[in-house]
Chains A and B, each alone.
Chain A
């Protein structure tokens, strides 16, 4: 029997973010073994093909973990251990913690080590010295803006990107951005995020007394909510009736103050994070999903809205133009332009039912053809198999 490919998906946390978990579960159904390393935030059960080698974020757990793998390596892979110790000694800022993180990887030695977050890349280049192939995902802020504001990070990317065996880009746009830091074009493969067809909501949308706009996402500046709120002030001043809800926007003083200062308390609701099912329900009920972001790879929430047949208005940030065509499968406005958001919302408010149906059909077609989970997993597996 042919040896199965052993793939380590490393994000540091177990469980990881929704889209990384989707990848793990998808791959676990294929003919390969998945290894997860890092620390456990909460207990989660995977299928048999997923092996978890994790510690809890406590001193005792880390100590026991370190003793176990130190002994195993010392007894059975002494030479490798000495080699790794020498590498870590040169580069490490916290030698003990790095040993806790690295020893299990050296012991289990996956064929491929897939790092999900680029900022941590320098910590994992050592795997190449042991014949492990290194794959890096190019995602959002790590590529799009952090290296612009942090020259040290940019220098680290320029030094280490040539050592990466393959890049997984979440969009064409982010792949191009990574090339600025010496990522070789030939090594970059775009694999779009995928959704499962059974995740499509079956709930029927409700008739809203006023136009319902929704945004979903953590309260981070890159989400551009300040532009959205400014835009809605323009709408309110012009007498338009609407309600805007930001799920995940609660308890953030910048947004609370802006809503209060612009006297939009009746028009804007800032909600805390909600369970996935509730979010999907509110999304279906909304007349428009607004993504006012100034930076994204490709926002998963837009994909979900398209699958759930909710109209989308997005900015042209990151790779959003790869999924939304303005006037065909949704609407696009420039980043950092609240006037443009306001104008476009007014256009959308008066759109005819027939045109709306056509837009929603086109959006769903895009998701079906370009963003299926099956396709994502197959493409990722193909990427691994080329190495």
Chain B
């Protein structure tokens, strides 16, 4: 039941587009906030045709980039709005940008590009990814709102390498940050962010959906599985090398990868060169219920990522009662507790991974069951959606622990 409160808080969430059906994190978050009496406005860079029916108010930036004519046309209207509809906020944004050293021309461009925020009233402006807050560092202050930024793996670890110094201005602001793990908090503190402004809210999954009641059967042929985009950061090439070692040792296995991506050709060729192509199924992207069904038939879940914020797929695998072997990339060592709820292997060491898979394969049924039970219990009690929703409510109501 929705709570009643004297002032209904409005949360502005900034994303690049309206979250699709499979992007459960933001959908669940918005649903959870609404259920607890918050009003949510979603600010996006662009709209797709089927976004009209989304569950909250959606505000989109004008399509400046469509053509030169549309850029001129929408800029003209933006300037009119800045001058006549919300001049105070526009002036404040201009002054704040100027204080950050933004040259005049850049400042005007910034005002035009961000004008679509200024007509709305929110208590919080929460940027869903770090990079979305770049060049928008003063928008929340201009709106008189509190500002929050969520960091996931990619935007904390990779974006600064791709765009050096991209967060320099952002990190000078006294705002609140949401990260997924202790490791991320530690790394964010490395940018001189005060600990009290960094809040860990771990990802969560629908533990009622990802559940498997039957007793898991362990056969001689290892049924291995990973749910991941086919992207270099998922470490699948290293995983294949580990599997090639296993094959050389005479271990029978079959490996299923659920997910698609730009590096399919690279991975198929790697599997071919390593002589394990026939032992791998590239299942492509599957709907949730088929993911669950495929997880039911596997025994060991692998997530040997090179870079990983936290990884929902590993939580889902644990919830489904799979034995999980993961790398030590960023948040994974908090997702799986080594030796208690699964196993953590140093990344980029395929021979060590191969050895660990073999060791786990040869554990007794009792030892396997113990790990599975502990993992299931931990996921159900810590990483459930209600807990996550409550954590975000606390975050916005400043009732953080």
The interface of chain A, by Cβ under 8 A from chain B, is 145-146, 148-150, 221-222, 226, 230, 251, 253-254, 256-258, 260-261, 294-295, 335-336
Contacts and interface: CB of A to CB of B under 8 A. Distances in A.
A336 B274 contact: yes
B96 interface: no
Contact of A257 (B158, B241, B264, B269): B158
Contacts of A335: 273
Interface in B259-295: 263-266, 268-270, 272-274, 277
A254 B162 CA distance: 10
A145 B157 CA distance: 31
Given A149-B265, A253-B158, A261 B241 contact: no
Contacts of A336: 241, 270, 273-274
Q: Which 8 A-B pairs have the closest CB atoms?
A: A149-B268, A145-B269, A149-B265, A256-B161, A221-B266, A254-B232, A253-B162, A148-B272
B307 interface: yes
Contacts of B269: 145, 148-149, 294-295
25 contacts: A145-B265, A145-B268, A146-B265, A148-B268, A148-B277, A149-B264, A149-B268, A221-B263, A226-B232, A226-B237, A253-B161, A253-B162, A254-B232, A254-B233, A256-B161, A256-B162, A257-B161, A257-B307, A260-B161, A294-B269, A294-B273, A295-B269, A335-B273, A336-B270, A336-B274
Contacts, number: 48
Interface residues of B, number: 22
B199 interface: no
Contacts of B277: 148
Contacts of B313: none
Nearest to B264: A149
A196 to B, nearest CB: 34
A335 B269 CA distance: 13
Nearest to A335: B273
Given A148-B269, A230-B348, A294-B273, 16 more contacts: A145-B265, A145-B269, A146-B265, A149-B269, A221-B263, A222-B266, A254-B232, A254-B233, A257-B158, A257-B161, A258-B306, A260-B161, A294-B269, A295-B269, A335-B273, A336-B274
Contacts of A226: 232, 237
A237 to B, nearest CB: 12
Interface string B329-345: 00000000000000000
Contacts of B237: 226
A150 B265 contact: yes
